[in-house]
Amino acid sequence: MDNVTLARQNHRVGVHNMKKQAFAARSSLAALILSVSLAQAVTLTGACAQGAGADAATPGSGDLAGTVKSAKGAEAGVWVIAETTDTPTRYTKIVVTDDSGRFLIPDLPKANYQVWVRGYGLIDSAKVQANPGATLDLTAVPAPTPAAAAQVYPPIYWFSLLHLPPKSAFPMEQIKSQGEWLNVIKSGACQSCHALGTPGTRTISKRLGTFKNSADAWTVRLEAGSAQAFMARDITRLGTEEALKLFGQWTDGIAAGELPFATPERPSGISRNIVVTEWEWSDTTAYLHDEISTDRWDPSVNAKGKLYGSAEDSTDYMPILDPSTHTDSEVKIPVRDPNTPNVTARPHGFSPSWGPNAIWNSQTITHNPMMDEKGRVWMTSQIRAPENPDWCKAGSAHPSAKAFPIKQSNRNIAMYDPASEKFTLLSTCFPTHHLAFSRDHAQLFFSAGVVGPAVLGWLDVKKFEATHDEVQSQRWTPFVVDTSGDGKRGDYVEPNEALQPGKDKRLAVNEYAVAVSPVDGSVWGTVIGYPGSIVRTVLGANPEETALSEIYEPPLPGYGPRGGDIDAEGVYWVALASGHVGSFDRRKCKVLNGPTALGKHCPEGWTLYQLPGPQMRDVQDGGSAEASYYVWVDWFNTFGLGKNVPIVMGNLNSSIFAIVDGKFVNFTVPYPMGFFPKNVDGRVDDPATGWKGTALWSTYGTRAMFHLEGGTANRPRAVKLQLRPDPLAH
């Protein structure tokens, strides 16, 4: 073990032990204070907490309840936030007031809490100290100016102020339309990594330096940090000089006092029934791409258990959260080859938040975890150098290599067994990015991500468990479309070759998302780009010879697929950079194969749903400024809105959306403002307890928690979302 790793582990263990000791002492003190308070019926007093009114909700011993009023009367649809650092890791719970301004925060661990009010049209109220069991009257504070009110608007309201080149400016050298230009910003390194419009992006820090204009400041900003290579790539595609000028004008306008032209609405209806719980985990510099809490096919797996995260480029330590004890920990993910490339080998510039030193250090660059039926955590993880072993390449006897040899991969596979606390590492010929199990957990499918050899790869999990032979347990296939129209896979032409009668065609596409249909076991994925596409693959009896794919492009004004999922009816749902969610029903297609089946042949299968929030002010096309990252379908009603409800990431709205009867329901996570979910999963902890026993789980998935309110003090947060029957349910 190297000195840095040893020091890091000793530090984490020491801090954890101190937290445990402090928590035990504080819990005892909090229990004593609470018992005295209840026995003597003490009522909180102060500027924001006086004796509770008669119409307040009645708290249980583990609840906080009361009313929120301002000089205007009861404040409906505002958030009440309770937060404590008495627990081993920071703990926060958030609810929404009802029509009468009443609130009830349920099931709080014993601790001292700071409680305050946040809402649109308000500034945050003063924080009041309280213990569970108390009844509070909180005084909301109307914002003295529109500028003060806008500080808690979600990023989309600030991002929509960015000017775009007019439609008349296109075609450009590399980009042919305004939609394609915007797609680069929304689906490229800008918005896929973090939200634009947060405090850290809509302003230029003085610590960055002094510049003659803001375009120069943006040049330096894009050269800073670990993601600079991706940002430099995208700004070049946009037309560097013009793009930097527009971003400079955006931040200049905001610095001069420009405010959003649209205002968000307060939560209403069932949006007020949300209960949000947050725990800090991992480190201030970490980037938590995803979390996993349960098995996609059985949400009762790992009931009441720990959460596991992936910290991608930032660290080799997998964060772990135990919600039952409010404790976070971590375990180091190993590599097979000690010479595995490290992300710190990438160039780094000066960061106004962290200075000149690299803050990320990762060989594994773990991207996405999933859980199997045994509670084991499988993840896409780099375990060796990209050059593949000979058995992956031309001349190998491996059946997949014979059909389609692969020279390099990127990530491979790591599996963590919580029971044994041990990792199993598997080398793959194909690159890995996202992953999804088949219904019987016999196959584990992988997308390649945005670059790679254009294949769908999978692991025969059962064979590997029986033989421990990683070579014979993996397969892969290229994407081949039945353009011959004979209903089977045959000889094919290459992507750059013209169609030939009687031959099929190989697609040069890399899937980003991956999902397995519960209807027929077909494998679906997204292809990032403009307009982008979705791909369906059926393996057949002998995949190297029988696998066939279908490709479908979204019709304009929809474009830019990112993450997607398939519902229980076989309909595919996908987040689009155009500010839509697209649903695709293959059953409506008039053409499924033949020479025209290359993407544009089934517009009738698509339905576009415009996402909430304002559109970019220079865009006249349908859609919104939202840049949703992923869609996940709630097959088992783990959230409480019914089975088969699509759950959409509202990355710029700081929320998740549910599509119920064709309409969006917005559930905002208001603190810290800038919630950036990459995905969610749903778990059933105890079906006998109703809404309390089920939840959606997510995490702040931004690369830059330090862009949010709180700055560099922020740690990523795991997020639990529960939907109760009404805003005052215990």
The string of pLDDT tens digits covering residues 290-327 is: 999 999 999 999 999 999 999 998 999 999 999 999 99
Stretch among 82-91, 343-352, 577-586, 595-604 having the lowest mean pLDDT? 343-352
Check residue 205 and give its pLDDT: 82
Beta bridge partners of 665: 658
Cα atoms in the 13 Å half-sphere on the side-chain side of 717: 26
**Mean pLDDT of the 489-496 span:** 97
Closest CA to 609 of 636, 589, 631: 631
Determine if the peptide bond prior to 557 is cis (ω within 30°).
yes
669 φ, ψ (degrees, to nearest 5): -105, 100
CA distance 708 to 165: 28
443 vs 352 pLDDT, higher one: 443
661 φ, ψ (degrees, to nearest 5): 55, 40
pLDDT surpasses 80 at 3: no
The pTM score is 0.91
Give the pLDDT confidence of 129-141 residue by residue, as tens digits. 999 999 999 999 9
CA distance 46 to 134: 14
Closest CA to 173 of 240, 230, 247: 240
Beta bridge partners of 380: 413
Dihedral angle over CA of 242, 248, 249, 251, nearest 10: 150
Beta bridge partners of 515: 524
**Mean pLDDT of the 702-730 span:** 94
Helix (H, G, I), strand (E, B) or coil at 74: strand
DSSP 431: -
Beginning with the edge strand found earlier in the chain, give each strand of the sheet holding 655-660 in spatial order: 631-634, 645-650, 655-660, 663-668
**Mean pLDDT of the 446-451 span:** 92
**Mean pLDDT of the 557-566 span:** 98
Check residue 226 and give its pLDDT: 54
Are the CB atoms for 260 and 161 separated by under 8 Å? yes
Spatial CB neighbours of 206, under 8 Å, sequence gap ≥ 6: none
The tokens of 234 are what? 């995208």
**CATH number of 6-143, picked from 2.60.40.1120, 3.20.20.450, 2.40.420.20, 3.40.50.300:** 2.60.40.1120
CA distance 552 to 565: 15
Give the pLDDT confidence of 665-683 residue by residue, as tens digits. 999 999 999 999 999 999 9
Check residue 240 and give its pLDDT: 80
Residue with tokens 């998302």: 513
Give the pLDDT confidence of 598-653 residue by residue, as tens digits. 999 999 999 999 999 999 999 999 999 999 999 999 999 999 999 999 999 999 99
CA angle 721, 93, 158 (to 5 degrees): 75
Beta bridge partners of 406: none
pLDDT surpasses 60 at 32: no
The tokens of 167 are what? 């439609």
Mean pLDDT of the chain: 90
